[in-house]
């Protein structure tokens, strides 16, 4: 058992284990004594979409960011470079150059996306433009997720697709112009993936939409960024056409912070009665009014149809606040973990009650008090569950399993937290 000590003297213990075993960290019962500004990482949703489009262009581009870059973005960069892109990280910017060999090109290397579901789906679509087979994999959590909506669409487009027993996929194309169906009630990423890869797929698609779209803000972001590069494609909730376009890049773009993490930092503020700067990040096109509603600390009903990433910290905020009902989360079983189940289990570990109802609804009684967990807290390789667990443990203590998965979006989350804590 090694020890990690924060600058304020708070000490956490991290257990070194066999590489195949889980890493544990013991967070002591602590407090945050002073206000501070929490530096959020760069938005992976913005950066990954820009990287995918910039790699398909014939011009250079700089992506500037203020916060750190998470592992999901780094994985996407590594795999795009395997496909012939020319991407380099340099300080607070990411440089995308002109490919020397063309893009995308076939690679015999397996593309490993780690825990990035966004990267996985977008590379599935991009690699469907190649006539030779490409293998794509990820960690155990990613390989267990469903990709049936996108894979069915690619098969309908004439691509070859096979999923192995371990969850890895093999895909080859090229696709044909065709009419496909997409159920967006399970997530918007399949449509985003087809749109972003369209310049390389070079086919016109007629898309028929089924189900009420969820995570609409992220879909709007895909169309917005595509339009900024010359796309004339528009979204329609019934049927639409995706037409390829010649990508024209701006010389420089600024990546915003990852505002989907604001509720976790907000949870730390409430638990420790401090100001960590979340009031600067209340407005978000991606997440609608969900963050602002949580900031008001009086939410009778919170619809997370377009912001399901917030479910775990949102439930914790309601539990220690006035309580409320969370709706619109019936599709979260397709995330890093089944977030309804893991949220109920996590809060239960800290002595709080959450009721899961049919139809994607959870009810959270308010005015609840945390207790220190009696057992090790499992995070299921879900970075948002892990961050919420670490935040709760910072108040009452606890041993958190697999906390290192926070690196998917915010590698310095634990380090930053420990610097703020004092015993």
Evaluate if residue 10 carries a pLDDT over 50. no
Angle at alpha carbon of residue 365, lines to 360 and 370, rounded to 5°? 115
How far is 330 from 314, CA to CA, in rounded Å?
A: 16
Whole-number CA gyration radius for the chain: 21
Contact indicator for 232, 204 with CB cutoff of 8 Å: no
How far is 169 from 193, CA to CA, in rounded Å?
A: 16
Domain 2-41+258-422 and domain 44-254 have a common topology: yes
CATH topology classification for 44-254: UDP-n-acetylglucosamine1-carboxyvinyl-transferase; Chain (3.65.10)
Q: In the chain, pLDDT over 70 holds for what percent of residues? A: 93
| pLDDT tens-digit series, residues 40-53 | 999 999 999 999 99
CATH architecture of the domain formed by 2-41+258-422: Alpha-beta prism (3.65)
How far is 333 from 326, CA to CA, in rounded Å?
A: 15
| pLDDT tens-digit series, residues 328-374 | 887 665 444 588 899 999 999 999 999 998 878 899 999 999 999 99
| pLDDT tens-digit series, residues 374-390 | 999 999 989 999 999 99
3-state secondary structure 3-35: EEECCCCCEEEEECCCCCCCCEEEECCCEECCC
CA dist 91 to 59, 61, 88, 312, Å?
Answer: 21, 15, 10, 32
Evaluate if residue 7 carries a pLDDT over 90. no
Contact indicator for 214, 184 with CB cutoff of 8 Å: yes
Compute how many other C-beta atoms are within 10 angstroms of the C-beta atom of residue 372.
16
Structural domain boundaries in the chain: 2-41+258-422, 44-254
Residue 3: per-residue pLDDT:
42
The one-character DSSP state at 408 is G
Half-sphere exposure of 95 (CA within 13 A, CB side): 8
Evaluate if residue 124 carries a pLDDT over 50. yes
Evaluate if residue 119 carries a pLDDT over 80. yes
Q: In the chain, pLDDT over 90 holds for what percent of residues? A: 77
Confidence tier at 18 by pLDDT (50, 70, 90): very low
How far is 251 from 197, CA to CA, in rounded Å?
A: 21
- Interval 47-65 mean pLDDT: 97
What is the value of pTM for the model shown?
A: 0.92
Evaluate if residue 203 carries a pLDDT over 50. yes
Contact indicator for 421, 33 with CB cutoff of 8 Å: no
Evaluate if residue 255 carries a pLDDT over 60. yes
| pLDDT tens-digit series, residues 169-191 | 999 999 998 899 999 988 899 99
Contact indicator for 380, 336 with CB cutoff of 8 Å: yes
Q: List the structure tokens of 261.
A: 């993490």
Evaluate if residue 264 carries a pLDDT over 80. yes
How far is 2 from 56, CA to CA, in rounded Å?
A: 45
Phi/psi of residue 192, nearest 5 degrees: -60, -40
Half-sphere exposure of 257 (CA within 13 A, CB side): 17
Residue 332: per-residue pLDDT:
60
| pLDDT tens-digit series, residues 72-104 | 999 999 999 999 999 999 999 999 999 999 999
Compute how many other C-beta atoms are within 10 angstroms of the C-beta atom of residue 411.
17
How does the average pLDDT of the chain come out, rounded? 91
- Interval 277-291 mean pLDDT: 85
Contact indicator for 319, 370 with CB cutoff of 8 Å: no
Confidence tier at 287 by pLDDT (50, 70, 90): confident
Residue 6: per-residue pLDDT:
38
How far is 275 from 225, CA to CA, in rounded Å?
A: 33
Phi/psi of residue 332, nearest 5 degrees: -75, -5
3-state secondary structure 88-113: EEECCEEEECCCCCCCCCCCCCCEEC
Q: Among 7-21, 139-153, 268-282, whose mean pLDDT is lowest?
A: 7-21
Residue 214: per-residue pLDDT:
86
Residue 423: per-residue pLDDT:
54
Residue 21: per-residue pLDDT:
55
Contact indicator for 225, 49 with CB cutoff of 8 Å: yes
């Amino acid at each position: 058992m090694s020890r990690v000590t924060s600058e304020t003297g708070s000490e956490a213990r991290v257990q070194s284990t066999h590489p195949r075993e889980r890493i544990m960290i013991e967070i002591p019962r602590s407090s945050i004594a002073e206000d501070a500004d929490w530096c959020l990482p760069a938005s992976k949703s913005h950066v990954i979409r820009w990287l995918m489009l910039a790699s398909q262009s014939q011009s250079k581009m700089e992506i500037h960011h203020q916060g750190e870059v998470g592992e999901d973005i780094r994985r996407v960069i590594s795999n795009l470079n395997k496909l012939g892109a020319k991407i380099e990280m340099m300080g607070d910017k990411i440089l995308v150059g002109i490919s020397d060999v063309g893009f995308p090109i076939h690679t015999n290397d397996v593309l490993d996306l780690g825990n990035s579901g966004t990267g996985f789906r977008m590379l599935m679509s991009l690699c469907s433009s190649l006539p030779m087979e490409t293998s794509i994999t990820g960690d155990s959590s990613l390989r267990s997720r469903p990709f049936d909506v996108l894979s069915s669409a690619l098969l309908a487009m004439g691509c070859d697709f096979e999923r192995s027993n371990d969850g890895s996929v093999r895909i080859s194309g090229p696709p044909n112009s065709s009419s496909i169906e997409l159920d967006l009630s399970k997530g918007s990423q399949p449509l985003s993936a087809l749109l972003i890869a369209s310049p390389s797929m070079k086919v016109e698609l007629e898309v028929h939409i089924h189900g009420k779209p969820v995570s609409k803000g992220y879909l709007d972001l895909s169309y917005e960024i595509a339009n900024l590069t010359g796309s004339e494609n528009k979204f329609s909730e019934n049927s639409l056409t995706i037409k390829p376009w010649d990508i024209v890049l701006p010389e420089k773009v600024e990546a915003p912070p990852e505002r989907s993490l604001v509720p976790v930092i907000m949870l730390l503020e409430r638990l420790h009665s401090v100001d960590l700067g979340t009031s600067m990040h209340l407005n978000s096109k991606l997440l609608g009014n969900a963050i602002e509603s949580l900031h008001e600390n009086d939410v009778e009903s919170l619809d997370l149809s377009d912001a399901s990433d917030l479910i775990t910290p949102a439930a914790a905020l309601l539990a220690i606040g006035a309580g409320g009902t969370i709706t619109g989360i019936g599709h979260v079983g397709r995330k890093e973990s089944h977030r309804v189940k893991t949220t109920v289990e996590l809060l239960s570990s800290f002595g709080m009650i959450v009721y899961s109802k049919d139809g994607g609804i959870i009810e959270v009684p308010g005015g609840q008090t945390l207790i220190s967990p009696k057992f090790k807290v499992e995070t299921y390789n879900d970075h948002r569950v892990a961050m919420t667990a670490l935040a709760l443990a910072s108040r009452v203590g606890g041993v958190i399993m697999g906390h290192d998965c926070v690196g998917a979006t915010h590698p310095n989350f634990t380090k930053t937290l420990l610097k703020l804590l004092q015993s």
